[in-house]
Amino acid sequence: MEWGHRLWGRFVGLSFVIPAVYFVARRKVTANMSLRLLGIAGLIGAQGAIGWWMVKSGLKDDLFAPGSHPRVSQYRLTAHLGTAFLCYIAMLWNGLSILRDHKNWLEPARGNQALLRFSSPQLSIFRKSVAGLAVLVFITAMSGGLVAGLDAGLIYNEFPYMGNGLTPPKSELFDKFYSRKPDGSDLWWRNMLENPSTVQLDHRILATSTFAAIMALWAYSRFSPKVRAALPKSGKRGMLGVVHLVSLQLILGISTLIYLVPIPLAAAHQAGSLALLSGVLILGNRIWVPKRSLRLVQKRMKQLKQGGNTGIPVRPGISAAAMRADLKALERSRPVVGAS
């Protein structure tokens, strides 16, 4: 599994870096997008370095002794997982932004109408809530990395109870065993990050909070008259998609816990966290209105009204040369302005 993971990681890195170098070298992208591609390539390199740093924590002298169980640091495992998520977020967000700007450039009137509607003051709270929701989903996924690193899913395999109550005893959650300082000043945070019982409880609380937050935001978008009237169909569909994803993720999480963390369910649960984060990002991309995109669409509308072919606005991520080629194809596909 580790050998395949390493090869797959190298393939992912090369499949991004090689085309990125080609697009930058041939000036197919703008300077701004070139910097973004460089940043993502840097994240991929850092991901590989963190991966080796994580593996190194498990290289012990007794690694191949009979009955030994290889383990890595839960901190490094979570850092490796977090960097992977950040790489994915950067790729997905930039890709969605380019596709949206390209579509608005080809249909500026419709794009301008959609952008103005999404920038409505009635949707201000909804937009900010989606941004906060993305952060919450990311933190919950990272807490899952701590659970995996500590094998914390192998204890308290019932839901919603943990033993005789909803939480284990306080003495177990804040055990002095995990404190390394004589004064016990590190007692609370070491138990939150190193005590399997506390780590699992934290993950449960975060997961439940995420589910409740998504359902509350869906209810707000559906039953608030102002938001319901201002939110377009694409936003409503995106919100409903997030509800479906979080419901599936909740089922996968409980099933993984009850059945003692079988690998297929554990992998599906991890994939579900990424799918849920993707759904929130897609929803956020639909309702987020960058001022640059709005100016681009309005400039394109002005150009079409004038009937001119000068002052070609450059789409974010696309070079001027590529823009001119697109514009020529677009001009050939529509009637000439002023023709009978």
As given in the structure block, the two tokens for residue 242 are 């997030």
Number of domain units in the chain: 1
The predicted model scores a pTM of 0.86
Residue 247 Cα distances to 224, 233, 273, 304, 312, angstroms? 22, 21, 11, 46, 46
Cβ pair 30, 316 in contact under 8 A: yes
CA dist list (Å): 52 to 3, 65, 66, 70, 75: 12, 22, 25, 15, 13
Give Cβ neighbours of residue 316 (< 8 Å, ≥ 6 apart). 30, 32, 33, 97, 98, 101, 292, 293, 296
Residue 157 inside a domain? The answer is yes
Neighbours of 320 (CB within 10 A): 13
* Domain encompassing residue 186: 120-288
Say which residue the tokens 């959609």 belong to.
114
C-alpha 206/C-alpha 195 separation (Å) is 16
DSSP 25-89: HTT-S-HHHHHHHHHHHHHHHHHHHHHHHHHHTT--TTTTSTT------HHHHHHHHHHHHHHHH
Spatial neighbors of 97 by CB under 8 A, at least 6 apart, are 285, 290, 293, 316, 317
What's the confidence (pLDDT) of residue 339? Answer: 38
pLDDT of residue 187: 95
Residue 41 maps to a domain: no
DSSP state of 153: G
The pLDDT of residue 146 is: 97
What pLDDT was estimated at residue 328?
A: 56
Residue 226: predicted pLDDT: 92
Residue spans of alpha helices (H) in 107-195: 108-118, 124-150, 170-173, 187-194
Residue type, 331: E
Return the amino acid letter for 82.
G
Would 197 be classed as within a structural domain?
yes
Asked whether residue 196 is assigned to any structural domain, the reply reads yes
User: Is residue 174 assigned to a domain?
Assistant: yes
263-287 and 74-106 helices cross at what angle (nearest 10)? 40
Token pair for 61: 């002298």
3-state secondary structure of 165: strand
Q: Is 270 exposed, middle or buried (0-12, 13-18, 19+ CB in 10 A)?
A: middle
Q: For residue 289, what are its two tokens?
A: 């209105």
Is 35 a domain residue? no
Q: At what angle do helices 124-150 and 74-106 cross, to 10 degrees?
A: 150
pLDDT confidence of residue 68? 75
214: burial class by Cβ within 10 Å (0-12, 13-18, 19+)?
Answer: buried
The whole-number pLDDT of residue 320 equals: 55
Report the length, in residues, of the chain.
340
The pLDDT assigned to 340 comes to 31
| Structure tokens given for 92 | 């997905």
Residue stretches of the chain with pLDDT short of 50: 309-314, 330-331, 333-340
Judge whether 214 lies within some domain: yes
Work out whether the CA dihedral 300, 302, 305, 308 comes out positive or negative.
negative
What is the number of other CB atoms lying within 10 angstroms of the CB of residue 72? 16
Q: ∠ CA(133), CA(137), CA(143), 5° rounding?
A: 145
Question: Can you give the pLDDT at residue 331?
Answer: 47
38 assigned to some structural domain = no
CA distance 257 to 17: 38
